Chains A and B, each alone.
Chain A
Amino acid sequence: MTGRPAFPAAFLSALLAVQPAASQAPPQATLVIAVAGDPDSPVPTLWRNSQGNRELSDLLFLRLADLGPTLSTIDEASFVPRLARRWTRSDPVTLTFELDPRARWQDGVPVTARDAVFALDRARDPALSPQTGTLLRRIRSVSAEGDRRVVVRFTEPYPEQLYDATYHAPPLPAHLLEGIPPESLAASAFVGRPVGNGPYALARRSPGPVIELTANPGFFLGRPGIDRILLLGAKDPEARANLLLSGEVDAIDNIYSLPNWSRLERLPSYLYYPVPGPTLIYATFNQRDPADTARPHPIFTDPGVRRALVLALDREELVRGVYGPLARVPDGPLSSLLARSVDAPPVIRPDSVGARRLLAARGWSDHDGDGVLDKDGRPLAFRLLVPGIVAARVALASRMQEAWRRLGVRVDLDVVEGAVFIERRNAGRFDMDMYGVSQDPSPSGLRQSWSCSGFGGSNVMHYCDATVDSLLQLAAGSDRARAPQLYRAAMRRIAEDVPAVFLAALVFGTPVHRRFTNVVVRPESNWSLVWQWALRPGQAIDRDRQ
């Protein structure tokens, strides 16, 4: 980690400085980024809102307010105003936003309350935006009061009202979109040439994919310090690493793999920005029998066995060999991103002696001398389902298999194709599965995965604990002051009960060329604050002038 910046401090100061540093006569600058996705429809509220689309649309479309440096979705004071200058609450279920009168669409038309209503209504309609439709079900109505005031009413008081009203549905230019039938927006010309209100405008898109963005000179929060951004799509992590090594790009999306990290960390012209990622890798213990999901699982319903299996793993070492410094071991279902706003419970320390003792106490020992523990004639053997396309998860699974083999547990891997993995997982046809989830910044999603209300949905392993359930339910409906404590208590209970082996919370190492200053890389959307970056004086290179 050479030249690692003082991470939280840089982050904070950059976020709080709403004005970009280089506001007077900024130099010409071009930033070239190799991104993992192909952002082919960068418009909010379309139903398939991939990470790549989100990252591009965050440069084109501003939200009413952004998450602050803590990334808390609950602490309203930490939110940063964007299109909305301020917001007020007339009662516990009504939020009123007042728009910044300077905000303009890139065609010159002012941003109005109608635009915010239009986008939120689209996002709340499950037929148009199935995923956000589910997330925003607690918004009762959205209305405009004149041109500048947006009123959002909720069905009940709850801690994440501001987040729900701002995060998923940035305003859209109603004056351009109202004429288009709502269901055919995705196929319209607007998606190819969106008109936004953000710091950058889409200037050119050529198959490559190459996307050229130019700074919006009239951007009301200040002229961007970087005039031009080129986004190049390169899905293969080795390809991205080589682009950086050859000096053809200034920054790349996440490094991901340890071998790439070891090649890149020595590059002198780049600084690394560790970003708490939304990705969490864990292996669940199915609570139901994969052969008949109405019956309990023959091994994993015993929390002692689950705990012993976790104790037998030195997860720090396991994860270090696969991700190096690019991940840490969580002890609850918390990605690095979510762990910034919800306190993580203490980590279970590895203890192979303790694991053996615990299993023996539960009746598992090698009675027949075949090297595999058994109990009542049943061997301690199970299968671990792994998606083959993700090399890191196959590597993690191989290491777990070997560690458990030493304990006397036989694990067979089922490495399968991605779509087959999802199908078997959703159908509950697995003993354990090696899953990777990309979490939203909000902890409210935890309920779908870890409480009984998620049966038939994300809770594919049928984990159900009365304490966890009531804590998560209380947290989702409580007030902002109490919610963090309730989430913390729920996480502690989950950690004690070990419904899964929590393996890795990824920390993305994002390299950026040293000639840029004031750099902030955002966890939920890497490049959304590029407009606050600037070129160091006198450090322009050829491609800045081209």
Chain B
Amino acid sequence: MSVWLVRRVAQALVTFLLAATLAFFLMRLTPGDPLARLTEDRPVSPETLRALRARYGVDRPLVAQFSAFLGGVIRGDLGQSISHNGREVTELIRSRLPATLLLGGTALLLNFLFGIAIGVFQATRAGTGPDRALTLISLAAYATPSFWLALILQWGLGTELHWLPVAFMQEPWLAGRPWSLAGALDVFRHLVLPALSLALVTFGATARYQRAAMLDALALDCIRTARTKGLPERAVRWRHAWRNALGPMLTLFGLWLPLLVAGSLYVEAVFAWPGLGTLAAEAIAYRDYPVIMGTTILVSGVVVLGNLAADLAHRWLDPRLRTP
């Protein structure tokens, strides 16, 4: 186990490096130039443009820029943003990360709660009317564009009924004070609509996979045996079948995990949620290389960690995998 673990962690590190390298060079192959974009409205002379390129180091050979970037990553320095007047990338990310984690975490939690409950419910009643109805509902929700749902919820529950605030993370008076009771309640009220939008358009996938995996598990011999032994249905369902159906769900969790930090561009934009999604999208639009790389390696790190965790959990769940 420990040899495997060491090897697997080493692999994860290599994967992370590979992803960072690929992202760096692919990004630089894309057309567009940060300084041409930023000086678009008030053009500058070619000499000044050259000086600006030199200031941000984008005129150096790519390999030199890459090694500078890697050196920075090791020191915890992601460089300075080009489009935000040279602010530190780590500071920009730090200012946006809490909002993104809150929204992504809540959405992920809701996604898996809805998805697992619905998927298991459907599998135990496969082929019945409720199963079919839930299939239709979860698929229709999944096929809905997130911005559409967000705008409709915002309009219905916000501007028409005035039940919930339509944008931002806090009332401006309470902003920066989320730790009081009133502040926390206020953040919660603002969180409802964006988190619901995000969870509603994603839970369909979880429910589909959970239903399929649960159906497979319920058909297994050991489940039939457990039933014939007279165990209560609830115990059979959750202790035996669900445990057997957990593998694909763990993998799926690893795949959804980036939602935690990547955020959702449209949901963030519609609700003016101060998260990383809008920061990253703007950085890509402006070709603000340091910010793009900062957010990308954050996402890469979470992807790699998520998949590592999924593999670990697989092994822990299924003892047979330990002796291949």
A 194-223 contacts with B by CB, 8 A: 204, 206-210, 212
Residue B52 interfacial (CB < 8 Å): yes
Residues of B within 8 A of A130 (CB): 39, 44, 48-49, 51-52
Identify the closest chain B residue to A230 (Cβ). B172
Residues of B within 8 A of A402 (CB): none
Of B59-67, B82-90, B113-121, B199-207, the one contacting chain A is B82-90
**Contact at A422–B166, with CB atoms within 8 Å?**
no
Identify the closest chain B residue to A137 (Cβ). B45
Identify the closest chain B residue to A437 (Cβ). B41
Residue B146 interfacial (CB < 8 Å): no
Identify the closest chain B residue to A247 (Cβ). B162
Interface of B is mostly: loop
- Given A206-B176, A246-B158, A246-B166, verify A186-B37 contact (CB < 8 Å): no
Residues of B within 8 A of A448 (CB): 43
Residues of B within 8 A of A6 (CB): none
Docked Cα-Cα span, A131 to B46, in Å, equals 12
Docked Cα-Cα span, A239 to B30, in Å, equals 31
**Contact at B46–A456, with CB atoms within 8 Å?**
yes
Measured CB to CB, the closest approach of chain B to A123, in angstroms, equals 12
**Contact at B172–A208, with CB atoms within 8 Å?**
yes
Measured CB to CB, the closest approach of chain A to B272, in angstroms, equals 4
Tally of A-B residue pairs with Cβ under 8 A? Answer: 151
Docked Cα-Cα span, A208 to B272, in Å, equals 8
Task: Please report the total number of A residues contacting B with Cβ < 8 Å.
Answer: 57
Identify the closest chain B residue to A134 (Cβ). B44
**Contact at A423–B85, with CB atoms within 8 Å?**
no
Residue B18 interfacial (CB < 8 Å): no
Docked Cα-Cα span, A243 to B30, in Å, equals 36
**Contact at A419–B168, with CB atoms within 8 Å?**
no
**Contact at A458–B43, with CB atoms within 8 Å?**
yes
**Contact at A209–B270, with CB atoms within 8 Å?**
no
Docked Cα-Cα span, A255 to B55, in Å, equals 37
**Contact at B45–A134, with CB atoms within 8 Å?**
yes
Docked Cα-Cα span, A246 to B171, in Å, equals 13
- Given A207-B99, A210-B175, A236-B272, verify A187-B48 contact (CB < 8 Å): no
Of A39-47, A497-505, A522-530, the one contacting chain B is A39-47
Identify the closest chain A residue to B94 (Cβ). A207
**Contact at B43–A457, with CB atoms within 8 Å?**
yes
Measured CB to CB, the closest approach of chain A to B173, in angstroms, equals 5
**Contact at A236–B270, with CB atoms within 8 Å?**
yes
Residues of A in contact with B (beta carbons under 8 Å apart)? 32, 34, 40-41, 46-48, 126-127, 130-131, 133-135, 183-184, 186-187, 191, 204, 206-210, 212, 230, 232-236, 238-239, 242-243, 245-248, 389, 417-420, 422-423, 426, 437-438, 440, 448, 456-458, 543, 546
Q: Please, could you name 12 A-B residue pairs with CB atoms under 8 Å apart, sorted by A?
A: A130-B44, A131-B39, A187-B87, A207-B96, A232-B172, A235-B272, A238-B270, A242-B154, A245-B166, A248-B165, A418-B37, A423-B32
